[in-house]
Amino acid sequence: MRALAGRIGRASPYLTAIIEQGLFSLLNLGVVLVLGRVMTPDQFGACVLWFSVAYVLASVQNAVSVAHLQVLPNGRGVDPARFSTERVMLGATICFWAAVAAGAAVAVALMTGDGPFGVWAAVLFTPAYLMQQYVRLTLFSRGAPGAATIQTGAVLVVATGLLALGSVVFRPLQAEAVLALMGAAYALVGLAGLAHIGKGLWRGMIAALPAYVAYSRQSGWLFLGVSSTEILARFYVFAVGAAYGPGVLAALSFSQTFLRPAPLLASSWSMAARSDLVARREAGDWGGYVRLLTLSGAAGAAFALIWAAVIWAAWPAITGLAFDGKYADARWMLPLWGVSVAFGFVQVVVSTGLQILKAFKPLAIANASASAVAAVGVLWGIRRLGPGGAILGTAAGQAMEAAAMLVVLVALIRRLRRG
C-alpha cells in the first residue's frame, strides 16, 4: 500500500501538469478552431502570424530567464536556494517585455498598409502573452503545478468571456479585435500572477540586475538553441506567409492545429519531468534518468503517429460537420504533420534531458545545425513541392536535431557514469 501511495505521489505532478496543459490546449486550440470557423482566411492568417510571433518570443524568454529557474531545486521564490536567481530573472524579464512591446510597435508600423498583418493590438498581445507564460513556468519551476493550473484556468475563463463578448460587439470579427481581447485576458490574469510570484522579490531588483552578467554566457547558448529550435518549429509560418499569403497559411496552420495535442503533451511532460530529472541527476541515478527519457520519447512518438491517423480518418466528418466544409482539401497535409510532430516529441524529450545536465553549448550547436537544414528544406520544399514542402522541410530538420542531440546525450551520460 505504501509503495502504491509512493507511486501515486510521484505521478501526481505529471497528472497535474497534464491537466494544466489540457486547459492551456483548450485556450490555444479552442481559440484557433473557433477563429478558423468564424473568420475569413486572410484575417485568420493574420492572427496565426502573430500567435506564432508570440510563441517564438516565449522561447526566447525561456533562454533569457526561465531556463535558469528550471534547473533550481523546488521552493518558494524567497527560498535561499532560489531567491537571488529569481530576483535577477524577474528584472531581466520585465526589461525583455518592454523591448518586445517596442519591437512589435516598429514591426506593425512597417507592415501597416501592406495587407492584413499590420495589427496594432499585437503591441499589447505579445508582451501580455509573455507575462502569463513567465508566471506559469515560474510556478512549475517552484514545484507548484497546482498554482500554475489555477493561473491557466483563469486565463481560459477570462479569454472565453472576452471573446464571446467580442463576437457580439464586433461583426465580422477582425484580427485587431481578437488580438486586443486575447491580450487583455493575458494581461489581467498575468498581472495578478506576477504580483503573487513577485512577493519578496521586488525590493532591490533593479540594483540586482548587473548580476545577470554571470548568467549571460549560458543565456547566449540558450538563445542560440531556442532561436534555432523556433526556426525548426515556426519557420514554415513566415516562409509560407511570405510566399503564398495569409489564405494558404491559414489552411496549413488549421490542419496542423488538430495535431497539436502531441506537442502540447510534450510540453506538459517537459515541465513536469524536470523536477524528477533534477532529483535523479542529484542522486546519480543515471539508469533511471535514461529510462525516463527513453520511455517518454517512444511513447510520445507513438502517440503522435496514432493521433495523426485518427484525425486523418475523421477529417471529412470534422470539416463537414463543424466547419461547413472549409479546409476539407487540407486532409493530405495530416500524415506529413504526423511525422513532423513525432520527431518533434522526441526532440523535446532529448532536449529536456540535455538542459537538466546544463549542456547548453552542445545543445545550441545541435539546434543551430538542424535549423539550417530545416530552413533550407522548407525553402526548397516550397519551391519544388508547394506548401506541403514546408512540412517536409520542418520534419527533416526535427529528425536531424533529435539524432544529433541523442548522440550528445548518450556521450555525456556515459562520461558522468564513469565519474
Which whole number is the average pLDDT over 49-73?
A: 84
Q: Can you point out the beta strands (E) in 72-157?
A: none
Per-residue pLDDT of 223-270, as tens digits, reads 766 666 666 667 777 777 777 766 777 777 788 888 888 887 887 788
Query: Which pLDDT score, from 0 to 100, does residue 12 have?
Result: 59
CA dist., res. 196 & res. 136, Å (int): 11
Positive or negative CA dihedral for 7, 8, 14, 15?
A: positive
Residue 115 pLDDT: 62
For residues 309-326, average pLDDT = 86
pLDDT, tens digit, for every residue of 74-120?
777 778 888 898 999 999 999 999 999 999 999 888 877 656 677 78
Q: Is the pLDDT of residue 335 over 70?
A: yes
Q: What DSSP letter does each residue of 359-403 carry, written as one string? A: -HHHHHHHHHHHHHHHHHHHHHHHHHHTHHHHHHHHHHHHHHHHH
Residue the block writes with cell 525590493: 203
Omega before 172 within 30 of 0, i.e. cis: yes
User: Could you tell me which residue, 398 or 1, shows the higher pLDDT?
Assistant: 398
User: Measured between alpha carbons, how far is 181 from 32 in angstroms, rounded to an integer?
Assistant: 14
Whole-angstrom distance, CA of residue 315 vs CA of residue 283: 47
Average pLDDT over residues 287-314: 92
CA distance linking residue 190 with residue 194, whole number of Å: 6
Give the phi and the psi of residue 123 in degrees, each rounded to 5: -65, -30
In the chain, DSSP finds a helix count (H) and a strand count (E) of 15, 0
**Angle, alpha carbons 152-344-328 (nearest 5°):** 80
The one-character DSSP state at 73 is P
Distances (CA, A) of 190 to 76, 108, 381: 18, 23, 40
C-alpha cell at 376: 533550407
Average pLDDT, the chain: 82
User: Does the pLDDT at position 283 exceed 90?
Assistant: no
Of residues 283, 280, 222, 206, the one with CA closest to residue 69: 222
User: Nearest-CA neighbor of 275 among 137, 143, 144?
Assistant: 143
How many residues in total does the chain contain?
A: 419
CB atoms within 10 A of CB 189: 25
- Cell 524577474 sits at which residue? 90
Residue 179 CA to residue 44 CA, distance in Å, equals 11
